[in-house]
Amino acid sequence: MTDHTERRGHTTLAAALAGSRYAGLAAEPDDDEPQPERPTPQEAAEFNRQRALRCIDLWTPPVFRGARAEHPDVTAWARAYIADRSRPRWLLLLGSVGTGKTHQAYGALRLIAESGRPPIAWRAVGASDLYGQLRGRSGDEQQQTLDRYAALDVLILDDLGVTKDTPFTEETIYRLVNRRYETNLPLIITTNMRASDIKDAVGDRTASRLAQMCTQVDLGRGDRRRAR
């Protein structure tokens, strides 16, 4: 068990990351390095930056650990969140397979981690993986899983629309999106769908919230992986 104690009045990394929003979702780094005594603003920012980057490296899949946000609209979104977390916008990354949507999403998180602000509770989940976690579970178990994802500071919902649409998938996405809408928490969504197809895939209620909240970034068509 990771140590959640506080030393000399300073919160350890594990203690800073502990809490209900992480339960069952994220591992904790084995790191209890205390913050420097009476740090200067520059020292505090560097401590936060290093701590946040360790979390990024721990929780990011290896293929995306070097991801950098390169699209100007993605970097603008991340910087707006860094500047004022109380007024988040959502980010909708559109494009065909291989255009770098997930790369840009993880890159946005790395930009946030490098800012020197305290680390945030975040997680990425594929839409099909989310459905798989919920199918066959009781109503209470489904609600607990959705509650954990809904309460994260930032959530990446990857590959929305990759699974065949059913009443179950439509209702699941609505419940998750609506919770984050009501609690004013940011959401990063990636999808292979065109913007004009989203309403048919997720339903009127979800599409309405996405239209209101999202900054849309279209990364185009064509597989850049194959091109490289």
What is the C-alpha separation between 226 and 228, in angstroms, rounded? 5
63 pLDDT exceeds 80? yes
- DSSP code of 48? H
What is the C-alpha separation between 146 and 154, in angstroms, rounded? 14
Ramachandran sector of residue 19 (left: φ over 0; alpha: ψ -120 to 50; beta: rest): left
What is the C-alpha separation between 92 and 90, in angstroms, rounded? 7
Q: Identify the H or E element spanning 79.
A: helix 72-83
SS (H, E, C) 139-206: HHHHHHHHHHHHHCCEEEEEEECCCCCCHHHHHHHHHHHHHHHHCCCCEEEEECCCHHHHHHHHCHHH
46 pLDDT exceeds 50? yes
Q: State the pLDDT at residue 142.
A: 93
Determine the average pLDDT of the residues in 214-226: 79
35-39 contacts: CB < 8 A, separation 24 or more?
Answer: 35/10, 35/11, 37/8, 37/10
Q: How many residues are recorded in the chain? A: 228
15 pLDDT exceeds 60? no
Domain 10-227 has CATH 3.90.76.10: no
pLDDT tens sequence across 137-176:
888 999 999 999 999 999 999 999 988 889 999 999 999 9
Determine the average pLDDT of the residues in 185-197: 94
Determine the average pLDDT of the residues in 33-46: 80
pLDDT tens sequence across 92-104:
999 999 899 999 9
Q: State the pLDDT at residue 183.
A: 93
SS (H, E, C) 150-168: HHCCEEEEEEECCCCCCHH
Determine the average pLDDT of the residues in 100-121: 93
Strand pairing category for 10-11 and 6-7: antiparallel
Q: State the pLDDT at residue 20.
A: 30
Please give the mean pLDDT across all residues of the chain: 83
The more confidently predicted of residues 14 and 8 is: 14
Q: State the pLDDT at residue 17.
A: 36
The more confidently predicted of residues 137 and 23 is: 137
The 3-state DSSP class for residue 2 equals coil
Q: How far is CA 212 from CA 77, 80, 91, 117, 197, in A?
A: 15, 17, 11, 27, 16
Q: State the pLDDT at residue 33.
A: 61
Query: Chain-centre distance of CA 49, in angstroms?
Result: 18
Q: State the pLDDT at residue 224.
A: 61
